[in-house]
Amino acid sequence: MFITLTVGSYLIVHGYDEHNKEIVEEVTVQSPAEKVVAVSRIQSISENYVLVTGSHGRLMYWEYTDGYANLKRKLHLAGLMVDQNRT
């Protein structure tokens, strides 16, 4: 199952250093782009970011422009939200 998202800049978590601090790469893009994403990659959503899994065990925090309520609605309409009435 897939969902479309309009995403902008993002953070890639490459792992942890010897002090257990995340190794983070910031990627800035000129303008947001639409992506078709496997729903199984989505770990969580917040008002600003979608946390998704990537290759080699990486995590990515994507900024998105679809709006939190709209993204929750898309997930609900796809039958993927258990508690759709909560904000």
Q: Give percent helix, percent strand, percent coil of the chain, each to the nearest 5.
A: 20, 50, 35
> Could you read off the pLDDT tens digit of each residue along the chain, which spans 87 residues?
899 999 999 999 999 999 999 999 999 999 999 999 999 999 999 999 999 999 888 999 999 999 999 999 988 888 888 775 655
**How many whole angstroms separate alpha carbon 80 and alpha carbon 49?**
18
Within a domain: residue 67?
yes
Within a domain: residue 86?
no
Model pLDDT, residue 87: 53
Number of domains making up the chain: 1
**Residue 6 in tokens:** 């309009």
Within a domain: residue 83?
no
Count CB atoms within 10 A of the CB of residue 62: 23
**How many whole angstroms separate alpha carbon 8 and alpha carbon 71?**
15
Whole domain around residue 6: which residue ranges?
2-77
User: Cα 84 vs. chain centroid, distance in angstroms?
Assistant: 18
Helices (H), the chain: 68-77
